[in-house]
Amino acid sequence: MRRPPPSGQLRATTPRVTVKRTPRVTVKRTPAVTVKRTPSVTHDHRGVSYAEASKVLAPYKQWMIGANKTGYVLTKQAWSGPAARNYNLKGSVIRKFLQYEKQGTWRGINLGWTDNASAHTAIVRSQWYFRRPWGSYTDETGANAVPIKYGERIALAWGSGEKPFIKYASRNVGINLDWSKTPLYEWAILGGKPGEPVKRGEDWVIIYNLKHKRPLMYFDRTAGGDIGWPDSTRWGTGTITNPNRGESDAVKALLAPEAGTWIHP
C-alpha cells in the first residue's frame, strides 16, 4: 500500500483551488445590464405634461380670436368664403385689435393696433381668416364644418389684398413678418389640449409660428407696429424678453402629431 503524503503537503495544495475561482464569476456580469437602458426614456419630450407645458407658455396666451361673439373658429379657402368666418384678433396686453395699418417707409410690415376696442371696431376689424392645407373638412357653407383644432398647422391671412397671407421673413425694421400671395402653413393655435376645438370669444390663445419657433406677442417697438417675438430686439437695448429654455419641449407637447412631424425640433 502507498503511504498518504505528509500532512504538510495537503495544507499547501488545498487553498490554491479555492482562492482562484470565486471572484471571476461575481465581477463580470452585473454592470453591463444595469447601465445602458435608462437615458432614452428620460429625454423624450412627450414626458412634458399638458399642465407643465401650459404653465411654461402661459405668458404668451395673448390673443382672443373673434372676441365679439362665441362659437368655434372655422377655416375658409379665401376671402370670398363665408363672411362669418372672418375674425378679429384681440390682444390681452393692450386690449385692442391687431389690424392692417400702414407704418410708412422703412418701418416694417403694415400691421398695428386699433385706437379702441369698441363693438363697432370689433366688427370692422374682423378681417383675419384661417386656412387649412387640405381645405375645410366639409362644405364651407354647411353647419357641420370642423373647427380649427389646437395644435394643427394652418395659414393666417388678412383681408382681400393680392398678398393676404402672413409669413415669417427677416426684415431690417419691425417684426420679422411679410405678406405672401400663397398660403404658408406655418402657424398653429396653442394653449388648449391638442385636438380640441378652438373657441372664439372665450379662449385666450397662443399664436405660434412653426418656422421661427416662437409665439407672436405684444412688443413695444421704437419703430413699426407694436408686435414681436420673445427674441425680438429694440434698437440699442438688445433682446427684451429672453425665451425660456423649457419652451421647446412645452411647444412640442401642445402640437398635434401632424404639426410636430412637419416641423423639425
Question: What is the count of structural domains for the chain?
Answer: 1
What number of other Cβ atoms are within 10 A of residue 145's Cβ? Answer: 17
Q: What is the pLDDT of residue 10?
A: 41
Q: What is the pLDDT of residue 63?
A: 97
CA distances from 204 to 63, 134, 237, 254 (A): 5, 26, 30, 15
Q: What is the pLDDT of residue 235?
A: 47
The answer to the question of residue 44 being in a domain is: no
Q: Where are the alpha helices (DSSP H) in 103-231?
A: 119-124
Contact 121, 114 (CB under 8 A): yes
Residues pairing with 233 in the sheet = 239
* Reported pTM: 0.76
Nine-digit cell at 34? 444595469
Q: What is the pLDDT of residue 19?
A: 45
Instruction: Classify 202 as helix, strand or coil.
Output: coil
The answer to the question of residue 45 being in a domain is: no
Q: What is the pLDDT of residue 221?
A: 80
The answer to the question of residue 23 being in a domain is: no
Full residue range of the structural domain in which residue 235 is found: 50-262
The answer to the question of residue 248 being in a domain is: yes
Choice among 97-111, 120-134, 138-152, 204-218 with the minimum mean pLDDT = 138-152
User: What is the C-alpha to C-alpha distance for residues 45 and 187, in angstroms, rounded to an integer?
Assistant: 20
What pLDDT, in 10s, does the model give residues 54-83?
Answer: 888 999 999 999 999 999 999 999 999 999
Nine-digit cell at 51? 399642465
Q: Which of 35, 25, 256 is nearest to 148 (CA)?
A: 256
What pLDDT, in 10s, does the model give residues 1-17?
Answer: 555 554 444 444 444 54
Chain-centre distance for alpha carbon 261: 12
CATH of the domain at 167: 2.80.10
CA distances from 217 to 80, 221, 226 (A): 28, 12, 9
